[in-house]
Amino acid sequence: MTTLPMNPAAIIFDLDGTLLDTEPLYTAAAQRVLDPHGHTYTMELKRRVMGGDSNRSAQLTIDEFDLPMTAKEFLVKRESYLKVLFPEAEEMTGAGDYLRHLHSTNIPTGIATSSHRHLCDLKISQRDWRALLTTIVCGDDAELHNSKPKPDIFLLCAHRMGIKAKNIVAFEDSRNGVLAAKAAGMTVVAIKSPYTSPEDLQEADLVIENYRCLLT
């Protein structure tokens, strides 16, 4: 059994690629947008945009392929595909069990996700662990001024939970996310992903395959 680097007063999770295996869905939807233009959404581009603000990620994609659309238009097109895909997204291995374990031990949990609120709700509203989360901060929150890799979203989530950042463990799966949580002063556990290299996660305090290693 793997143990956390510290005994946390709370745990904050990223969502995409950390609790839910949605990253392949984002890739598929982005590729559908690119198909009419004859481009391929590469792994290298995926790694650059992961974990960041959706508008920034959209603009990076547009610039990469010189697409004839705005970031807003790209996101609207992509969302039309994501709405169909998200409700069926698989949980990351052991994620639900780990959330229930934390609840049973009275450790509060929150989410800090770059996803906008309506998409976050689409992903998690039917999950049986939704009610276990005490605080959720999304990328379009009115009080959020900077996206990952800036620490703002983690600091805002910690503030709303009423817990100091230094006493929180954050779970992430991307370089942007790891850097954001570390900049917030949190201890970081990274989930391995096919979309990241070991170098992407090197700032994390612990890197794990999945949540099962924390449970058994």
pLDDT computed for residue 102 by the predictor: 97
Q: Is 14 labeled as catalytic in the residue annotation?
A: yes
Residue 61 contacts residue 30 (beta carbons within 8 Å): yes
Regions of the chain where pLDDT drops below 50: none
pLDDT digits (tens, 9 = 90+) for 53-85: 889 899 999 999 999 999 999 999 999 999 999
Rounded CA gap, 29 and 119, in Å? Answer: 14
Rounded CA gap, 104 and 92, in Å? Answer: 20
Looking at CATH, the fold of the domain delimited by 10-22+90-215 is given as: Rossmann fold (3.40.50)
Residue 201 contacts residue 50 (beta carbons within 8 Å): no
pLDDT computed for residue 128 by the predictor: 93
Rounded CA gap, 16 and 33, in Å? Answer: 20
Tokens linked to 206? 């612990």
Task: Parse the chain into domains and list their residue ranges.
Answer: 10-22+90-215, 23-87
pLDDT digits (tens, 9 = 90+) for 37-51: 999 999 999 988 887
Decide: helix, strand or coil at residue 186.
Answer: coil
Residue 187 contacts residue 14 (beta carbons within 8 Å): no
Looking at CATH, the fold of the domain delimited by 23-87 is given as: DNA polymerase; domain 1 (1.10.150)
Residue 206 contacts residue 174 (beta carbons within 8 Å): no
Decide: helix, strand or coil at residue 43.
Answer: helix
Catalytic residue among 14, 53, 173, 200: 14
Catalytic residue among 16, 53, 141, 200: 16
